[in-house]
Structure 1
Amino acid sequence: MTEQDVTEYRKSLSIRVSGFDVPRPIKTFEDCGFSPQLMNAITKQGYEKPTPIQCQAFPIVLSGRDIIGIAKTGSGKTAAFVLPMIVHIMDQPELAKEEGPIGVICAPTRELAHQIYLESKKFAKPYGIRVSAIYGGMSKLEQFKELKSGCEIVIATPGRLIDMIKMKALTMLRATYLVLDEADRMFDLGFEPQIRSIVGQIRPDRQTLLFSATMPRKVEKLAREILTDPVRVTVGEVGMANEDITQVVQVIPSDAEKLPWLLDKLPGMIDDGDVLVFASKKATVDEIESQLGQKGLKIAALHGDKDQASRMDILQKFKSGIYHVLIATDVAARGLDIKSIKSVVNFDIARDMDAHVHRIGRTGRAGDKDGTAYTLITHKEARFAGELVGSLIAAGQNVPMELMDLAMKDGRFRSKRDARKGGGKKSKGKGGNGRGVRGVDFGLGIGYNPESNNPSSQTVPSRAAAVNSLRTGMMAQFKSNFVAATSGSQNQGSNNSPSTYANKRPVLQGFVSGGSIGGDMNRAQTTSSFSPAPTSAGKTSALEIDPEKGGGLPVGIGDV
Structure 2
Amino acid sequence: MSDFSSLNLHPSILSALTKKGYTTPTPIQAQAIPHVIEGRDILGIAQTGTGKTAAFSLPIIHRMAIAKVKIKPARVQCLILTPTRELAQQIEDNISTYAKQLKISSKAIFGGVGYRPQVQAMSKGLNFLVATPGRLLDLMDDGHVLFEQLEYFILDEADRMLDMGFLRDVKKVIKNLPPKKQTLLFSATMPKDIAALSKELLHDPIRVEVTPESSTVEKISQSVCMVEKSNKPLLLKSILDDKEIKSVLVFTRTKHGADRVVKHLDRNGVTAAAIHGNKSQGARERALNGFRAQKLRVLVATDIAARGIDVNHVSHVINYHLPDDPKSYVHRIGRTARAGREGRAISFCDNDELKLLKGIEKTIQTKLFVDTEHEYHGVAPHISKQVQNKPKTKHIHNQKKKVQKKKMQSRNVKR
Normalising by the smaller structure, the TM-score range is 0.7 to 0.9
- Relative to the length of structure 2, the TM-score reads 0.86
CA distance 1:392–1:107, shift in 2 (3 Å):
closer
Match of residue 303 from structure 2:
330
| Structure 1, unaligned runs of 5 or more | 1-25, 403-560
Letter in 2 for 1:378: D
Match of residue 346 from structure 2:
374
Match of residue 288 from structure 2:
315
> Which of the numbers 233, 236, 247 marks the counterpart of 1:259?
233
Instruction: Please give the per-residue CA displacement for 1:49-79, whole angstroms capped at 9, x wherever unaligned.
Output: 1111111111111111001111122111111
Match of residue 378 from structure 2:
none
* Cα distance in 2 between the residues matched to 1:392 and 1:133: 34
Secondary structure at the residue paired with 1:238? Answer: coil
Letter in 1 for 2:197: L
Secondary structure at the residue paired with 1:125? Answer: coil
* Cα distance in 2 between the residues matched to 1:344 and 1:159: 30
How do 1:149-548 residues align onto structure 2 when only pairs under 5 Å count?
A: 149-252=124-227, 254-268=228-242, 271-368=244-341, 370-391=342-363, 393-394=365-366, 399-400=369-370
2:10 and 2:65 in contact (8 A); partners too: no
1:99 and 1:174 in contact (8 A); partners too: no
* Cα distance in 1 between the residues matched to 2:74 and 2:255: 42
2:322 and 2:329 in contact (8 A); partners too: yes
1:72 and 1:242 in contact (8 A); partners too: no
Offset, 1:385: 2.4
Letter in 2 for 1:145: Q
Aligned length: 372
Letter in 1 for 2:355: R
Instruction: Please give the per-residue CA displacement for 1:381-418, whole angstroms capped at 9, x wherever unaligned.
Output: 22222223335544xx763397xxxxxxxxxxxxxxxx
Match of residue 117 from structure 1:
92
* Cα distance in 2 between the residues matched to 1:176 and 1:136: 25
Offset, 1:27: 3.6
Match of residue 28 from structure 2:
53
Offset, 1:96: 4.5
Secondary structure at the residue paired with 1:159? Answer: helix
* Cα distance in 2 between the residues matched to 1:381 and 1:312: 31
* Cα distance in 1 between the residues matched to 2:51 and 2:71: 33
Letter in 2 for 1:348: H
Instruction: Please give the per-residue CA displacement for 1:526-553, whole angstroms capped at 9, x wherever unaligned.
Output: xxxxxxxxxxxxxxxxxxxxxxxxxxxx
* Cα distance in 2 between the residues matched to 1:146 and 1:92: 22
CA distance 1:140–1:274, shift in 2 (3 Å):
same
Secondary structure at the residue paired with 2:327? Answer: helix
* Cα distance in 2 between the residues matched to 1:68 and 1:303: 30
Please report the RMSD computed on the Cα atoms of aligned residues, expressed in angstroms.
1.7
* Cα distance in 1 between the residues matched to 2:214 and 2:166: 20
> Which of the numbers 55, 61, 68 marks the counterpart of 1:86?
61
Secondary structure at the residue paired with 2:126? Answer: coil
Secondary structure at the residue paired with 1:323? Answer: coil
Offset, 1:93: 4.5
* Cα distance in 1 between the residues matched to 2:254 and 2:72: 47
Secondary structure at the residue paired with 1:30? Answer: helix
- Name the structure, 1 or 2, with higher relative contact order (CA <8 Å, separation 6+): 2
1:124 and 1:131 in contact (8 A); partners too: no
| Structure 2, unaligned runs of 5 or more | 373-415
1:215 and 1:239 in contact (8 A); partners too: no
Offset, 1:99: 5.5
* Cα distance in 2 between the residues matched to 1:273 and 1:27: 34
How do 1:116-155 residues align onto structure 2 when only pairs under 5 Å count?
A: 116-155=91-130
Instruction: Please give the per-residue CA displacement for 1:326-374, whole angstroms capped at 9, x wherever unaligned.
Output: 1111121111111111100000001111111111111112432x11111
* Cα distance in 1 between the residues matched to 2:178 and 2:311: 35
* Cα distance in 1 between the residues matched to 2:74 and 2:275: 37
Question: After alignment, is 124-133 or 217-226 more displaced?
Answer: 124-133
